[in-house]
Amino acid sequence: MDTKPENFIQQIIRTDLEEGRVHRVVTRFPPEPNGYLHIGHAKSICLNFGLAEQFGGACNLRFDDTNPEKEEDAYVRAIEADVRWLGFQWDGAVRFASDYFGRLYEWARYLVEQDKAYVCELSAEQTREYRGTLTEPGRDSPYRDRPAAESLDLLEQMRRGEIEEGRMVLRAKIDMSAPNMNLRDPVLYRVKRVPHHRTGDEWNIYPSYDFAHGQEDAIEGVTHSICTLEFEDHRPLYDWFIDNLPVPSRPRQYEFGRLNLNYTVTSKRRLKRLVDENHVDGWDDPRMPTLSGLRRRGVTPAAIRNFCDSLAVAKTDGTVDMAQFEHFIREDLNTSAHRAMCVLDPLPVELVNVPEGQVETLRAPNHPQRQELGHRELPFSRHIYIDRGDFSEDTSLSRKKFKRLVLGEWVRLRAAYVIRALDVVRGDGGEPVKVIAEIVPGTVGENPPEDIRPRGVIHWVSADDCLDCEIRLYDRLFKTPSPGAGDSDFLEAINPDSLKVLTGCKAEAGLRAGDPAHHFQFEREGYFYADSRHSTADKPVFNQTIGLRETWTQ
């Protein structure tokens, strides 16, 4: 039974339903199609869709596409895919602000007719000057008392494309002395001679986000419009439009603290700069906090949803430690990921008491705690690979500090034999290029004789039947907790070691025929996932989703 206390929004909705103010809950997720969704959006998605699900209502997916200069259909498709990937389905058809451009324009005319809006010809610089400051009231525009008929005529000229950009705007007539700057005659429409990704050249003016957002909610019958805290000061304006327009319903806006993670950035402007300046390999680079990047890296929807559900829905902003997110990633993958073996830095081992050409088939569980996931077959022969870091010639190393293979001593191969290192073959530079070893017969799944004490367990693959693969190891993209803090450029905090590409790695042959959608725990190495862009069946590329434990150091 879920005993988690209800957050303040859940309490508001429950009260609204019980007291009859609302009969059916309708929420919405309203992204702008000017970039990819990131982990911060995931909290909003989970909250809005989760509230609708909890209270038996509906959640709309609506694109606030009011700025054609930065919007693209490609972003629309990516956002739809991300919402579905997280496991949510919106109510009815996908909605767009552009669906309502005609009605919004008529409502703008209505405000002019009611002497509550006017066409203003102040320049951008003059508008800022007239607006005042936080401590000084603004001044009325000299065009504020323009006759409604004149404003209507100019507004129509703006719509038809007869007015150049920047020359005129339509402003609401509210209060230039209001303490809340958002109420000082905000802009409703600007001239933008830019084709729209859905409406083409039909419109030469576009509504501001503040003017469009609340009215879109009203058209769709949204009951609870959930926004992040930066919109708190915009709520009086949201309500002013609802109060002064003949809208079909009366939505209410509520604000909650947005999700901020340390060691990352979630500003779309900054994310776009990372992409445009080639600091990363696109929006879906596995180091990016975008949902497509997390998906490509191998983070699961369950991990993201569990993480978001663990976060407080509060009326204050806060920063969450990246380690908290990583905990949920590990927790989910520890349960769901199939086990496999992959040698990242191969060192050949020849087992001299295994006959040349003999192949023995061993079995290992796909998951040590989940028998229902079955077993996999491991070919075992005279020639195997172990990881170079799992071997040492230093016989003085203590068993406690080095639980791996040491010359003259024993170690167990995972799901296979106990072996003993006998000798080393060296290269021209004196470095080990092959270990000569022997197996201890009868030790597959059995303890060795009492006089044989293996130091530990290491992973391996057959050298005669293995899969060449590329491994990409990822670290945090930024090396400081708050990239761009103060006056610094956030790019200065990029971690130069955030990606390490390893070629010539050797994985179990069975991965060749495995389901590429599987998440794997490469034993003793971490969790990995086949790269959706570069991986092929015969030569996979595996992205490291996360290590087995926290290894980050500042």
pLDDT in tens, 184-200: 999 999 999 999 999 99
Sorting pLDDT into bands at 50, 70 and 90, what band is 518?
A: confident
**Stretch 339-352: mean pLDDT, rounded?**
98
Q: Which residues pair with 60 in a beta bridge?
A: 28
Rounded Cα–Cα distance for residues 486 and 542 (Å) = 37
Class of the CATH-defined domain 268-336+469-546: mainly beta
State the pLDDT at residue 1.
Answer: 45
State the pLDDT at residue 554.
Answer: 47
Q: Which residues are catalytic?
A: 32, 258, 268
State the pLDDT at residue 3.
Answer: 67
State the pLDDT at residue 552.
Answer: 53
Q: DSSP string spanning 86-109?
A: TT---SSS-EEGGGGHHHHHHHHH
- In this structure, the dihedral spanned by the alpha carbons of residues 503, 505, 511 and 517, taken in order and rounded to 10 degrees, is -50
Average pLDDT along the chain? 95
The ranges of the chain annotated as CATH 2.40.240.10 are 268-336+469-546, 342-464
Reported for 370-374, long-range contacts at CB under 8 A and 24+ positions apart, including other chains, are 370/335, 373/338
Q: Shortest CA distance to 407 belongs to which of 431, 437, 448?
A: 437
State the pLDDT at residue 515.
Answer: 62
The ranges of the chain annotated as CATH 3.40.50.620 are 8-261
State the pLDDT at residue 551.
Answer: 63
State the pLDDT at residue 486.
Answer: 87
pLDDT digits (tens, 9 = 90+) for 2-36: 567 899 999 999 999 999 999 999 999 999 999 99
Rounded Cα–Cα distance for residues 209 and 187 (Å) = 10
**Stretch 141-163: mean pLDDT, rounded?**
98
Taking the domain 8-261, which CATH number applies?
3.40.50.620
Strand order in the sheet with 499-508: 338-340, 519-522, 526-530, 541-546, 466-474, 499-508, 342-343
Coil vs helix vs strand at 266: coil
**Whole-model pTM?**
0.94
Residue 102 has pLDDT above 70, yes or no: yes
Rounded Cα–Cα distance for residues 410 and 418 (Å) = 7
Taking the domain 342-464, which CATH number applies?
2.40.240.10
